[in-house]
Amino acid sequence: MTAANDNITSQVLTEALPYIRRFHGTTVVIKYGGNAMTEEALKDSFAADVVLMKLVGINPVVIHGGGPQIGDLLARLNIESKFVNGMRVTDSATMDVVQMVLGGLVNPDIVSLINTHGGRAVGITGKDDNMIQAEKMPMTIASSDAGASAPEIIDIGHVGSITNVQVDLLDSLVQSAFIPVIAPIGVGQDGESYNINADIVAGAVAQALGAEKLVLLTNTPGILDANKETISSIQKTEVEALIADGTISEGMLPKVECALDAVSEGVNSVTIVDGRVPHALLLEVFTDSGVGTQILSEQPTSPDTHHA
């Protein structure tokens, strides 16, 4: 190794050390999705990052999506995919596929990936220990009747909204050597299964665990301003203004709303991270500049110096 490489390595380690101290013993909830979940090199870098976080004393909790994989299997089974306002219409047959894909295919694959990189991952769904408690999500849309002005409430099946997060099992895992990997399936009072948006689950889990940080891996560089430039750091009221003027819209809205809910309920910071960047997690947690857009409450409980 050359002297120049030695210098770069020492700079990286020196920059990381304050953040290792800063986050040691804290919980970081990670929503895992997008390209980071499908491209082999990015999958490997994600798994290595999660394992390293655990080794230096940070407690990562992973919540994963699986929409493309669900869509692929539905197509192979000749079951049509339907969406309303971005939510998958989930009848009983579709719910069976959702549980099969998320709980039986995607989740074990992620567990195996992390374990291959030296971690001790444990796969669970929100149904385990009644962890993610849910009820049917009502969906209101504009009436299909051109002459009517009243909104129309429709049934989109087994799509759930979270009523409670039971953290006993998660607390036990987080405080141990294990890394929880959670499939976003909820359970109702009657034992019914519910398909829940993974961003929403990640936000609710972060709140329930009192996580220091929530990281949402996605396929965008972060929140963009009116000039399409990435905003490095932003506070809650500024985000609300960008939503009001339409700068934040469409696919970014659910992630941003999840972030706002989390910081409003005590999560110190939420970062929307570009998962297409190799080792995005390490860059976000252990460097001064971070990756993506960090959303902060107005008065964070312990200021995060990232994205300064």
**How do the domains of the chain map onto residue ranges?**
25-296
- pLDDT band (50, 70, 90) for residue 235: confident
Please return the burial class of 265, using the count of CB atoms within 10 Å of its CB with bins 0-12, 13-18 and 19+: middle
Q: In this predicted model, what pLDDT tens digit does every residue of 164-217 receive, in sequence order?
A: 999 999 999 999 999 999 999 999 999 999 999 999 999 999 999 999 999 999
Let me know: does 258 contact 188? Beta carbons within 8 Å.
Answer: no
**What pLDDT is recorded for position 220?**
85
**Ramachandran sector of residue 134 (left: φ over 0; alpha: ψ -120 to 50; beta: rest):** beta
CA dihedral (7, 230, 252, 163) in degrees, to 10, reads 50
Q: How many helices (H) and strands (E) does the chain have?
A: 10, 16
Which one has a higher pLDDT value, 157 or 107? Answer: 107
Local structure of residue 212 (DSSP, 8 states): S
Q: Letter for the amino acid at 151?
A: P
Half-sphere exposure of 39 (CA within 13 A, CB side): 14
Residue that is written with structure tokens 């972030």 in the block:
259
The whole-model pTM stands at 0.89
**pLDDT-above-90 percentage for the chain:** 54
- Read off the pLDDT of each residue in 256-275 and give the average, rounded to a whole number: 89
**What pLDDT is recorded for position 40?**
93
CATH H superfamily, domain 25-296: Acetylglutamate kinase-like (3.40.1160.10)
**What pLDDT is recorded for position 291?**
80
- Read off the pLDDT of each residue in 130-150 and give the average, rounded to a whole number: 72
Lowest pLDDT segment from 17-21, 85-89, 124-128, 222-226: 85-89
Please return the burial class of 183, using the count of CB atoms within 10 Å of its CB with bins 0-12, 13-18 and 19+: buried
**What pLDDT is recorded for position 251?**
72
Q: What is the CA radius of gyration of the chain?
A: 20
Which one has a higher pLDDT value, 178 or 17? Answer: 178
Closest-CA residue to 280 (of 289, 207, 120, 56)? 289
Q: Which two tokens stand for residue 186?
A: 């909820």
Please return the burial class of 150, using the count of CB atoms within 10 Å of its CB with bins 0-12, 13-18 and 19+: exposed
Lowest pLDDT segment from 45-59, 62-76, 223-237, 272-286: 223-237
Q: How many whole angstroms separate alpha carbon 270 and alpha carbon 261?
A: 10
Long-range contacts of 251-259 (CB under 8 A, 24+ apart): 251/86, 252/220, 252/223, 254/86, 254/197, 254/199, 254/200, 255/199, 255/216, 255/218, 256/223, 256/295, 258/199, 258/200, 258/202, 258/203, 258/216, 259/203, 259/214, 259/216, 259/295
